[in-house]
């Protein structure tokens, strides 16, 4: 069964292709200094109803003539599976033939024994003759560095998040999560939102996910910024709730056929007083004109 932990381990390559540079360096694969990355279809089905699908397929297109294009098939592997090597051989052969360029296989593992097995090589043949040999590039706790310092995590958020996924079952997991959380405290909002959600989903129903949730909830990842960020988050949530209530007032008035001039609409939408908005919701159920909504405030 495909799990969120499995999905996150390969989807991060689709969402954050910059992760390829440090990962290929870890694997001692020379990567072009500059390259365009394309997410390809993972479907390698040739004859239905037998369906075959790679977890993630990327095409690397070197820029400035640094070698030719190549494909990367990325598979997440949670345990040893003796049926996988045959599928991997098929994936590589099919992708190479379909796109007319060489293909490499990266296997992401969450424990050492699976990574040791996934490194292969896997040979297929008969009578002592090897017809096909598959040599995956295995990533696991032994070669993916545990990033436990916030400064290092901040320099490469994608690798830090990947490190958290790969080491999620190991003793370094709490320190890695803490370092990443602190690094996200000074990151852009899109990175904060992406990695917060990605780790929450990707860690699955584990104690590590609870650690991650507590770190993000308590705001301990904001070094030197006190409660400002947490306060901003809470204010943002309150503002969102206020906007929802304001829209609720307008919907009720609209359903009741009460005309709302632009000036009144803007006044309602600009209100951030939750108590007042709840009062307006109650009033909107019985008033005959929008002017009645503001009588108490205008009289005061």
Q: Where are the domains of the chain?
A: 4-139, 150-218, 228-299
CA–CA gap between residue 255 and residue 243 (Å, rounded): 18
Chain segment 164-181, per-residue pLDDT in tens: 999 988 899 999 999 998
pTM of the model: 0.65
Residuewise pLDDT in 10s, the chain (300 residues)? 456 677 778 888 888 888 888 888 888 887 777 777 777 776 655 544 445 678 888 898 887 766 788 998 999 898 999 989 999 999 999 999 989 999 999 999 989 999 999 999 999 888 889 989 999 999 999 999 999 998 999 999 999 999 999 998 889 999 999 999 888 888 887 888 888 888 888 888 888 988 888 888 755 444 443 444 445 555 555 677 788 888 888 988 888 888 999 999 999 999 988 889 888 988 888 888 999 988 877 665
pLDDT tens digits, 87-102: 999 999 999 998 999 9
Give the 3-state DSSP-derived string for 210-278, with helices as H, strands as E and coil as C: HHHHHHHHHCCCCCCCCCHHHHHHHHHHHHHHHHHHHHHHHHHHHHCCCCCCHHHHHHHHHCCCHHHHH
- d(Cα 104, Cα 92) in Å, to the nearest integer? 7
Pairing state of beta strands 129-134 and 122-126?
antiparallel
Helix/strand/coil (H/E/C) assignment for every residue in 144-213? CCCCCCHHHHHHCHHHHHHHHHHCCCCCCHHHHHHHHHHHHCCCCHHHHHHHHHHHHHHCCCCHHHHHHH
Cα separation values, 188 from 64, 164, 271, Å: 30, 20, 28
């Amino acid at each position: 069964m495909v799990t969120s932990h499995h999905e996150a381990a390969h989807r991060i390559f689709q969402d954050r292709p910059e992760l390829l540079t440090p990962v290929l360096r870890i694997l001692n694969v020379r990567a072009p200094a500059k390259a365009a990355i394309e997410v390809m279809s993972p479907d390698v089905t040739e004859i239905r109803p037998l369906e075959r699908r790679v977890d993630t397929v990327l095409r690397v297109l070197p820029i400035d003539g640094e070698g030719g294009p190549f494909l990367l098939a990325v598979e997440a592997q949670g345990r040893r599976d003796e049926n996988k090597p045959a599928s991997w051989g098929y994936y590589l052969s099919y992708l190479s033939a379909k796109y007319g360029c060489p293909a490499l296989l990266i296997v992401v593992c969450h424990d050492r024994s699976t990574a040791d097995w996934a490194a292969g090589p896997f040979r297929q043949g008969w009578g002592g003759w090897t017809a096909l040999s598959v040599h995956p590039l295995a990533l696991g706790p032994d070669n993916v560095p545990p990033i436990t310092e916030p400064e290092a995590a901040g320099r490469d958020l994608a690798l830090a998040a990947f490190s958290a996924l790969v080491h999620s079952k190991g003793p370094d997991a709490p320190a890695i999560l803490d370092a990443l959380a602190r690094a996200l405290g000074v990151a852009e909002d899109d990175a904060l939102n992406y990695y917060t959600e990605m780790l929450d989903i990707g860690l699955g129903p584990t104690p590590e996910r609870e650690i991650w949730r507590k770190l993000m909830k308590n705001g301990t990842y904001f070094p030197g910024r006190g409660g400002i960020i947490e306060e901003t988050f809470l204010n943002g949530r309150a503002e969102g709730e206020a906007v929802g209530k304001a829209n609720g007032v307008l919907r009720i008035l609209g359903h009741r056929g009460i005309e709302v001039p632009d000036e009144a609409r803007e006044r309602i939408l600009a209100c951030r007083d939750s108590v007042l908005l709840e009062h307006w919701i109650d009033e909107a159920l019985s008033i005959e004109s929008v002017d009645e909504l503001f009588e108490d405030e205008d009289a005061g």
